[in-house]
Amino acid sequence: MKDYDIVIVGAGCSGLSLAFRLINSAYSVCLIENKSVTNRIRKTWSYWDTYKHPFKHLDKYTNNKLSIHNNNSTSILDCSEHNYCSIDSDDFDKHVLTKIDECTNVEIMFDTEIKEIITTDNTYDIKFNKGSINAKYIFDSRPDRRVIEMRQIFKGLFVRFGKQINNFNAQLMDFTKKSEFHFFYCLPMGDDMYLFESTYYTSMKKDKNKMTDEVHEYIKQRYGNEYSVVREEYGEIPLTTNVKINNKNSKYINIGIPSGATRASTGYTFLNIQKQTDEYIKKLNGDTYTEYSDTFRSRVLRKMDNVLLQIIKDHPMVSKNILYRMFKCNDSKRVIRFLSDKPTLLDILLIVWNMPKLIFIKYAIKSFTTRSI
């Protein structure tokens, strides 16, 4: 049985982000991934540039202005200080896997399904379909098996137009009149390519084909029929405030989505994974670190997100107005700090203050007696 200092389960965004930072370190590292290297889901990770991370050079496109539309009203989010950036996960995979290939201390095993992890004294025995290995630390990014009630479900089309598109408006949210919490998301992606996405926050199943039709209809109404689809993207992001908080003394550490890297009210995860990973590198180095999901700020944000998700679930139409008002009534920098998990206490207070108070207070009180989402 081979011994490693660190075993990382899952070679997705969080597993590879951690492995990348451990390249050429003193640790022996093994990454275990159950899918094959040729069967990776391509994703576009967008985020506001509010935190330094080692993959910045992979940004495909950046926007300095986003618009939000609701009931024929428009609000502009000024992103000139913190650009809205997008990374193609294919570029990320290529970059990290090449670096792993070139180094001697990190190994990666694809097509390897974990069967069992047994704790023995101070180490872990990891049993999988092809054998077993030993590790001092485990970082586990496998998805949560619990049933998560609310999801962000989206279907996107990357398109190229047969004509020049002038003054394309990058839209964070174009709320529709549907009786559900639904909006279109539209971004220029560089190389004359544009992403159009139909997005729901819902506890229901959604028909992918219908969502594709919605996107086509949206594009045709605004830009005509002259376009071709380059590729498609589908995603379901669990939206929950019930996260796995790691024990500070444990060497079995959950990372990525199940450990609270996903912001429950927005689905944004990529940048939080980068912050979380940097903290665990400090932990491995024996430095003072913070448990990403266990800070005062993250607990306050989870409470607030729980209230927002309950309102979205029960009153999808009202919640579109609430979200729209957040953009309309607050300074852009404050909103970006809030959406990027970096709000000050004053930001949080002002954002709550600018919300319709009656419904927010009602659901805040209710949240003490109901199970959180």
**What are the residues binding ligand FAD (CB under 6 A)?**
9-15, 32-35, 43-47, 113-114, 141-143, 233, 235, 237, 256-257, 267-270, 273
- Nearest to ligand FAD of 255, 355 (CB atom): 255
Closest CA to 275 of 99, 61, 13: 13
Amino acid sitting at position 342:
K
- Nearest to ligand FAD of 12, 316 (CB atom): 12
- Nearest to ligand FAD of 69, 155 (CB atom): 155
In degrees rounded to 5, what are phi and psi of residue 314?
-85, -35
- Nearest to ligand FAD of 15, 316 (CB atom): 15
- Nearest to ligand FAD of 143, 356 (CB atom): 143
- Nearest to ligand FAD of 65, 142 (CB atom): 142
Neighbours of 244 (CB within 10 A): 15
User: Least Å distance between CB 53 and ligand FAD?
Assistant: 12
What is the residue-wise DSSP string for 63-123? ESEEEEEETTEEEEEE-SSS-EEEEEHHHHHHHHHHHHHH-SSEEEE-S--EEEEEEETTE
The rounded distance, in Å, linking the Cα atoms of 161 and 188 is 12
The single residue listed with the structure tokens 């199940």 is 258
Are the C-beta atoms of 132 and 125 separated by less than 8 Å?
Answer: yes
Q: Which helix (H) or strand (E) holds 274?
A: helix 270-284
User: Least Å distance between CB 154 and ligand FAD?
Assistant: 7
- Nearest to ligand FAD of 134, 354 (CB atom): 134
User: Least Å distance between CB 25 and ligand FAD?
Assistant: 20
User: Least Å distance between CB 370 and ligand FAD?
Assistant: 26
Question: Which position's Cβ is nearest ligand FAD?
Answer: 12
- Nearest to ligand FAD of 207, 226 (CB atom): 207
User: Least Å distance between CB 254 and ligand FAD?
Assistant: 10
User: Least Å distance between CB 1 and ligand FAD?
Assistant: 18
User: Least Å distance between CB 130 and ligand FAD?
Assistant: 12
User: Least Å distance between CB 239 and ligand FAD?
Assistant: 11
